[in-house]
Structure 1
Amino acid sequence: MIESFNNRLKRKTKPKTEFPTEQSLDTFIGVQAMDYNDRYFNRIHKGFGQVRDTLESYFD
């Protein structure tokens, strides 16, 4: 999951040569993270389906 997000972030930032401020970079990464979460929220990764209930109980 982390590598997938990192690869997506690299693809999105490649066309941009630089960001004008650090805040604009933070905003860009935040928007990309929220978009990634929205897109893959209900996706069950291999092995996580078996422990999903347990993991959800830790974060409730």
Structure 2
Amino acid sequence: MLKGFKSRGLEQVELFLSDGVVGMKEAICQSYPKAHFQRCLVHVMRNISAKMRVDDRQKALDEFKQIHTQSNKEMAVQVLHEFYQNWEKAYKNVVRDLRQVEPDLLTFYNYPPAIRASIT
């Protein structure tokens, strides 16, 4: 796909938004090294939901959604880390997986507030 973009003349991309497909970020970095990468938060929430007990899902997702309603990245990091603290004991694998992709969860905060909702 990325080679096809290049062959059709796409020289630079500002931002890629993707799910957690294995190797996608690395392929993007090779083809478009200046591009930013944002993990799709809808897919992240689906993954969180799939790994939690039904009784915990709504509360956890409501907390996680607060990440993209903050006014700045620093506040979003704080909310995300609170999410880790609240759920790590019961769902250590969920929190471990989120920590591994944390930089890719908050890229949208590098953009103006007016377009953030369309990025996540």
TM-score bracket, normalised by the shorter chain, equals: 0.3 to 0.5
TM-score w.r.t. length of structure 2: 0.24
**Greater percentage in strand:** 2
TM-score w.r.t. length of structure 1: 0.41
